[in-house]
Structure 1
Amino acid sequence: MNNKDDILIMPLLLLYFRADMILFSKRNLIYKDYTWTVYSTSDPRVFGIPDSTIFNSIEGNEVVYIINKLMILWNYRFSNTGNKIEKLIHDKLPAGSKSQEEVQAWIKENLEF
């Protein structure tokens, strides 16, 4: 590989490795009233990037997934930021079916520090 190829490939490698990072886990959750469904590791509700998949805010695995994805996407590193996102989802996310993308946009608009 030459330097030009390295420049193109490195961001893709970083994205791949960052996708597997876990910054926030079940033990970091403040609320304990979630349901815990077992999903396959490739289920779009808990894998990949936030997309048009419907988000279930009472499902703990989906909440942990979306918090992790947003913390990685927005470069947040502290679990207290994950707790702020969790509180928004748990206490203020408007009722009704929303895609992961819609939840992401709503959190971005409403997250305050």
Structure 2
Amino acid sequence: MANFGRDALKFNYSWTTTEGDSKKVTGYPDNVLLNRSEGYEVLHFINKYMETRNLNSTLSNFHIIENSIKTVVSTNLRSHANIKTWLDNNLK
């Protein structure tokens, strides 16, 4: 798995977890909503996405995906599945 840490992220995120949240996400559930403001969730999502799509683990690729999630992907796409599909269709 791509193993970028929080220092690789360019945007500001919340790093506090609330009840029911976990700093260690173990799965990659398609039906779960991605909180784009929560650093732990975004970081895990990007690393896992890069791994499952066999993308080169470069900081450039990481930033392209992060920027897309934060500024380009429509906010009405909220589930992991919908965001992955958007990335698959729009990042070449």
TM interval, shorter chain, is 0.7 to 0.9
What is the number of equivalent residue pairs in this alignment? Answer: 87
Task: Tell me if 1:36 matches 2:18.
Answer: no
Separation in 2 of the partners of 1:80 and 1:89? 14
- Which amino acid letter does the alignment assign opposite residue 15 of structure 2? W
- 4+ runs deviating over 2 angstroms: none
> How high is the TM-score relative to the length of structure 1?
0.68
What are the within-5 Å matches in structure 2 for residues 64-103 of structure 1?
64-76=43-55, 77-96=57-76, 98-103=78-83
Q: Name the larger-Rg structure.
A: 1
**Aligned-residue CA RMSD in angstroms?**
1.7
The structure with higher relative contact order (CA 8 Å, sep 6+) is 2
Separation in 1 of the partners of 2:59 and 2:26? 20
Query: Quick check: which one's helix share is greater?
Result: 1
Residue segments in structure 2 that go unaligned for 5+ positions in a row: none
Identity %: 31
Residue segments in structure 1 that go unaligned for 5+ positions in a row: 1-20
